[in-house]
Amino acid sequence: MRFSIIAVVASILSVALAQQAYPTVPVASTVWNAGATYTIKWKLTPPAATAGLKVELLTGDNPQSQRVVADFGTGTPGGTSLSVTLSASLKSGYYSIRIGDSYSSYFLIRGVGPTPTGPLPTAVTTTLPITTVPVTSTVPTSTVAPLPIITTATTPSGPKTTTNGAGFLKAGAVVPVAAAAAAVVLAMAF
């Protein structure tokens, strides 16, 4: 029971991460033209998503001021691409794609008006909403009786055996680490 909490938290975290994607197209060097059709691509973080991910086109000078320009819809569950047609009335500028909670790099769309010539805006970063779950457990600590360490060495007068009583383990330090590792392995197996 003590370590089932860790297993539950690990399972919940893996489900939350299942809805995340890593955009692979477009990238920073991509140039698209307004009015044309393109395929947006991404890789899913394991395990595969169980629901389709919402795909949107955004614009803005930095990640904090981006706004949705086009809602391309939702990809198929477990899907890794979506074909989209850009509006012919899009202004020339730098855009990014949001897939679920993940963002592509900024890239250029040539459309209405002059094409920007300056550097790409500040990179877009993916933020993952994580809920903090308080976890408390009590692990009793105890000291195992000292175990003798026996060393045998050969000296000119013959073999010599010595005993060292300093070799002891503190169970309170070993058990939580081993249990946490086992809980993570078990949680990932399911």
Of 61 and 8, the structure prediction assigns the larger pLDDT to: 61
pTM over 0.75: no
Question: Does the 21-110 domain belong in CATH 1.10.760.10?
Answer: no
Q: In this prediction, what percent of the chain has a pLDDT beyond 70?
A: 52
Residue 45, C-beta contacts closer than 8 angstroms, at least 6 positions apart: 17, 18, 20, 21, 22
Domain ranges of the chain: 1-18+140-190, 21-110
65 secondary structure, DSSP code = G
Span 132-143, mean pLDDT? 52
